[in-house]
């Protein structure tokens, strides 16, 4: 495959994403600076604290170059805080963001840490041809939901009528943390998008 996937490693659950990607046999590396952004073919933005990540991206001069790469077509996948950073608008917030996903997001929509939960999600896009569709074990931790999407955004999964997985061309985003499970189908779907 020869593809190199970067995982933004400023804060949050980046190590788990690297492990999940390597389990699928691709080269995955932690990204902490501009030079490393330029060395990867695609990027994963992990869960964590979106305000902290946005501030670090800004302080370290990485926000605009990363946005430029994504706008030029670099595939990107954001989970939880990564989803928040990708969205055009964050409800009641002016925090720094990439703003490349045509969607409005609400932070901590399901409540606080104690309200975290797991559920089996219906995600038909994860089944490859000839495979039987199986529900995906989704882990939600202080998770956001997408309140509205633009016309180019496909909703891939919902919980209680709220969008929790979306795709807009080369941009993938989920409210949940697939890297915290042994199920590699979400990462595999992203790699299929990249190739």
Measured CA to CA, the distance from residue 178 to residue 67 in angstroms comes to 23
For residue 120, give every residue at least 6 positions away whose Cβ sits within 8 Å of its Cβ, in sequence order, or none: 135, 136, 137, 138
Active-site pick, 16, 17, 87, 179: 179
Measured CA to CA, the distance from residue 43 to residue 30 in angstroms comes to 10
Active-site pick, 87, 177, 187, 194: 177
Q: Give mean pLDDT in consecutive 10-residue pieces for the chain, a chain of 195 residues.
A: 90 93 96 94 95 95 97 97 96 95 89 76 90 91 93 95 96 96 95 94
Catalytic, 177? Answer yes
Catalytic, 187? Answer no
Active-site pick, 80, 87, 187, 194: 80
Domain boundaries defined on the chain: 4-194
Measured CA to CA, the distance from residue 72 to residue 37 in angstroms comes to 13
Choose which CATH entry (3.40.50.880, 3.40.470.10, 2.40.50.150, 1.20.1440.230) describes domain 4-194: 3.40.50.880
Pairing of strands 171-174, 162-168: antiparallel
Question: Residue 94 has what DSSP assignment?
Answer: -
Stated pTM of the model: 0.94
For residue 95, give every residue at least 6 positions away whose Cβ sits within 8 Å of its Cβ, in sequence order, or none: 50, 51, 54, 55
Catalytic, 49? Answer no
Instruction: Say what the pLDDT of residue 112 is.
Output: 64
């Amino acid at each position: 495959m020869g593809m190199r996937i970067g995982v933004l490693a400023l804060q949050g659950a980046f190590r788990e994403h690297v492990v999940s990607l390597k389990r699928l046999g691709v080269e995955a590396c932690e990204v902490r600076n501009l030079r490393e952004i330029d060395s990867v073919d695609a990027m994963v933005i992990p869960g964590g604290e979106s305000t902290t990540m946005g501030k670090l991206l800004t302080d370290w001069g990485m926000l605009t170059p990363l946005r430029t790469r994504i706008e030029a077509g670099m595939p990107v996948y954001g989970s939880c805080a990564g989803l928040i950073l990708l969205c055009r608008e964050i409800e009641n917030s002016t925090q720094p963001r990439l703003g490349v996903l045509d969607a409005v997001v609400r932070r901590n929509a399901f409540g606080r840490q104690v309200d975290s939960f797991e559920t089996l999600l219906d995600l038909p896009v994860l089944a490859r041809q000839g495979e039987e569709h199986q529900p995906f074990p989704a882990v939600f931790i202080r998770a956001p939901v997408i309140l509205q999407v633009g016309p180019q955004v496909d909703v891939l999964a919902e919980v209680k009528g709220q969008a929790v997985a979306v795709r807009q061309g080369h941009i993938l985003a989920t409210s949940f943390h697939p890297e915290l499970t042994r199920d590699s189908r979400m990462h595999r779907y992203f790699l299929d998008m990249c190739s």
